[in-house]
Chains A and B, each alone.
Chain A
Amino acid sequence: MHELSLTEGIVSTITARLGDRRVVMVRLEIGKLAGVVVDSVRFCFDVVVAGTSVEGARLEIVEPGGRALCRDCGAEFLTDDPILLCPCGSSDVEVLAGMELLIKAVEVEPDVRDVRV
């Protein structure tokens, strides 16, 4: 259940960046090869935001699919399988996409600090 500590990290990162600003949406990017269970993050999120400025925020999760480059045959291939096998049979691959673990953006309630100057 590493999703719990990951999710705690999401909330502490957001509050460190934004202080006590009321957050109404959090957008994450969790790649399909990252080894993180999105449903567990959703479950943990509701627990760890309680009592913080992120409480009640909508959680949006984008899940980029996996893409890898085979170092043996040079082919690029798509896969969401954590066993990264090129169609040629090689497992010597470089992951190009699908390992993302990012807080992309948050939406906060507007306040006077957003007045463009």
Chain B
Amino acid sequence: MCATCGCDDHSHEQGGGVVIDLEERLLARNDHLAGHIRDWLASIGVRSYNLMSSPGSGKTTLLERTVRELGLPCSVIEGDQETTFDADRIQATGVAAVQVNTGAGCHLDAVMVRKALASLDPAPGSVVFVENVGNLVCPALFDLGETGRVVILSVTEGEDKPLKYPHLVRTGDVVLLNKVDLLPYLDFSQDRFLRALRQVNPHAPLLPVSARTGEGLADWYAWLSR
């Protein structure tokens, strides 16, 4: 038997070296921790939502309004490369918020979320919003132990965004189309956007909203409370 990995059913010899089969998933550590986070949150009746979008799509404005109007106890984890601006904005609403600065990192991972949750200590039955780093690429791969994934796109970004960033948009459990109050000033077709969305995500509900005016937010709150 091989004393390195304990196996006895395959050859290890190759060009003088010893080949050891690992079969480890690259994201095994993140996914394992995310599983623990998910189980722990479920055990205390907390739902968490991973909000993913480009920078400037209106995530923080949406959250400022959501934590005030949802009617459920909320807390927020804010991910940004630098500054505490977003956490400051949430805290100004009276809701607890923790800022995670990723430095060179372009996404949140389960380790960062676990640490933030430890300091946030969410109340049983509450809702935790995790605002990911503004980025439509990197956050897609990283499970944060969330109950659901929220993809936020805005009308100023163009109709073809879902097709340009299919990996991330595909993972959304719900898609918010924000800033619809600006539609009268843009050549944005909601039909073309919906067609693009359905090519990468056939089922997620699409909720047109304006975090600024409040239009459509009742549907968002209904989705969160379902």
Contacts and interface: CB of A to CB of B under 8 A. Distances in A.
A84 B104 CA distance: 31
Contact of A108 (B17, B29, B166): B17
Contacts, number: 111
Interface residues of A, number: 40
A106 interface: yes
A5 interface: yes
A2 B137 contact: yes
B109 A5 contact: yes
A111 to B, nearest CB: 8
Contact of B24 (A84, A92, A103, A114): A103
Interface string B125-143: 0000000000001101110
B62 interface: no
Given A1-B138, A83-B166, A102 B199 contact: no
Nearest to A109: B17
Q: Is the interface of B mostly helix, strand, loop or mixed?
A: mixed
Q: Which of B14, B166, B201 has the most chain A CB within a 10 Å cutoff?
A: B166
Contact of A82 (B20, B104, B167, B202): B167
A81 to B, nearest CB: 9
Nearest to A18: B20
A107 B17 contact: yes
B3 interface: yes
A106 to B, nearest CB: 6
A2 B2 contact: no
Contact of A105 (B22, B104, B107): B22
Interface in A69-117: 82-85, 90-92, 101-110, 113-117
B173 to A, nearest CB: 15
B18 A108 contact: yes
Interface in B134-173: 137-138, 140-142, 163, 166-167, 170
Contacts of A12: 29
Nearest to B29: A9
A2 B107 contact: yes
Contacts of B203: 92
A6 B14 CA distance: 27
Contacts of B4: 18, 108, 113-114
Contact of B14 (A10, A18, A107): A107
Contacts of B198: 91
A13 interface: yes
A85 B202 CA distance: 10
Interface of A: 1-2, 4-6, 9-10, 12-14, 17-18, 24-25, 28, 34-36, 82-85, 90-92, 101-110, 113-117
The 4 closest A-B pairs by CB, nearest first: A2-B138, A35-B167, A107-B17, A101-B26
8 contacts: A2-B137, A6-B26, A13-B29, A35-B137, A91-B198, A92-B202, A104-B22, A109-B17
